[in-house]
Amino acid sequence: MSDKLKALGLCLGASTVSVVQLELDQNRKTNPTGEKNPRVIDFFLRPHEGDPKQTLLDVFGQIDLPSFDRIAATGRKFRKFVNLSSIPEPQAVEFAYSYVKPADIDCPAVVSAGGETFMVYALDLSGRISNVITGNKCASGTGEFFLQQLRRMDISLDEAAQWAAVEEAHHVSGRCSVFCKSDCTHATNKGIPRSQVAAGLCKMMASKVLELLKKVDPKNIMIVGGTARNRMMIEYLQQEIPNLIVPDEAPYFEALGAALWALENETAPYPGLSELLLTEVATFDNLPPLEEYADQVEFKTLATGRIQRQDTCILGLDVGSTTTKAVLMRNTDNAMLASVYLRTNGDPVGASRKCYRAILEQVKQQVEPSEISITGLGVCGSGRQIAGLHALTDGVINEIIAHATAAVYFDPGVDTIFEIGGQDAKYT
């Protein structure tokens, strides 16, 4: 029998697959160096982008799994997808807490700040969970929502991490994810620095955590989960929570708990990659795919054409919250002569200028730009005001009017419009 017992813990989270490798020296009775026993050998963190199964297979493909004596899984949603021994997430939290807690401090609660949900595990003096406190199901205060907003503003995680909580926070709504997105979009459209918008998001997220902690003694709180790496949010929380504890193991906390449980319990043998994933059983009726009804849909397209010398054209620009689009149309026959589609990235003026450059390059490929005339610029979308001001155009149009005008152009008998946008959906 080996003196070393190795265990692997897996957490299939809402947005991330985390894996922790532990090693227990069964012969070591004393600890003169202060090194933990068991000790963490390695860990993996992989965002799964909505495909936890394939991500898990990719991660396990990089690990020598037969070398582990025991394997266990946890996770609220996806742990039942794997053919492994598993434990509920609260149980994993209890095991991990007993491993990472400071020797002289009893934490009244552990905050789990994940990609999809924030929740508080209230603890008794023995470190067992006595209550679970959750907020509403709105995603506006979660880690994955924060990452989505950073991507919309073209901000990297490293860039956001450099901004401290001393940034002046622009207020954003925390009631609803759609309202919050709208606040972020309107702020960047008005030229408010992205750092202040990001600070506002972090302050809103911190307020969500503080709201959950109202029923708990607000000191010596431990916070775990991937969002615990959000430096700006943590600094806001430190202003309100004395001795906030952020353990090094925070990003893989639940996976650590699963591995610790496995060290103390016999687990099912590893079945191999081919047998790892269980066949899902649908819990609801499936509807036929929409593609089977394509013959019942009439697709309208705009005529295209080549640019000719002496053409008189008009430019249309849609500065949306997520993407910005532009088309160049000939006045005489409404033919589309050039078009571009790109991301707004929280910079409506910058995105508009990129569209102008792209349209200009397409014109240059056909004629000398000075040989055509553009008689007007119409702008719609959430960024229409600032883009219209930048372009010095009077053609700033509400997008509802733009929708109706385009719909009637293609079908004069139309009576209903559904528009699915990057930020919201509209029924007209």
Each residue's pLDDT tens digit, 193-233:
888 888 888 888 899 899 999 989 889 999 999 888 888 89
- DSSP SS3 for 288: coil
Nearest Cα to Cα of residue 201 among 147, 133, 135: 147
Choice between 139 and 47, residue whose per-residue pLDDT is larger: 47
Q: What is the pLDDT of residue 112?
A: 93
Q: CATH for 106-244?
A: 3.30.420.40
Answer positive or negative: Cα dihedral of 420, 423, 427, 428.
Answer: negative
Q: Would the pLDDT of 377 be above 80?
A: yes
Domain 1-86+253-281 has CATH 2.40.50: no
- DSSP SS3 for 314: strand
CA-only gyration radius of the chain, Å: 27
| pLDDT 10s digits, 302-323 | 899 999 999 999 999 999 988 9
Predicted confidence band of residue 39 (pLDDT cuts 50, 70, 90): very high
| pLDDT 10s digits, 77-100 | 777 788 899 999 999 999 999 999
Choice between 376 and 277, residue whose per-residue pLDDT is larger: 376
Q: What is the pLDDT of residue 36?
A: 76
Return the CATH fold of 312-427.
Nucleotidyltransferase; domain 5 (3.30.420)
Question: Among 62-76, 134-148, 203-217, whose mean pLDDT is lowest?
Answer: 134-148
Per cent of the chain over pLDDT 90 is 52
The separation between CA 115 and the C-alpha centre of its own chain, rounded to angstroms, equals 7
| pLDDT 10s digits, 233-273 | 999 999 999 999 999 999 999 999 999 999 999 999 999 88
Q: Which two tokens stand for residue 67?
A: 């070398």
CA distances in angstroms from 28 to 1, 20, 24, 102, 183, listed in the order given: 15, 21, 9, 21, 57
Q: Which two tokens stand for residue 66?
A: 């037969």
Question: Among 110-114, 354-358, 395-399, 421-425, whose mean pLDDT is lowest?
Answer: 421-425
List, in sequence order, every beta strand (DSSP E) within 349-408.
373-380, 395-396
Q: What is the pLDDT of residue 334?
A: 94
The full set of domain ranges for the chain reads 1-86+253-281, 106-244, 312-427
Q: Would the pLDDT of 179 be above 80?
A: no
Burial class (CB in 10 A: 0-12, 13-18, 19+), 129: middle
Mean residue pLDDT of the chain comes to 88
Partner residues linked to 304 by β-bridges: 336
Q: What is the pLDDT of residue 185?
A: 79
- Confirm whether 106-244 and 312-427 share one CATH topology: yes
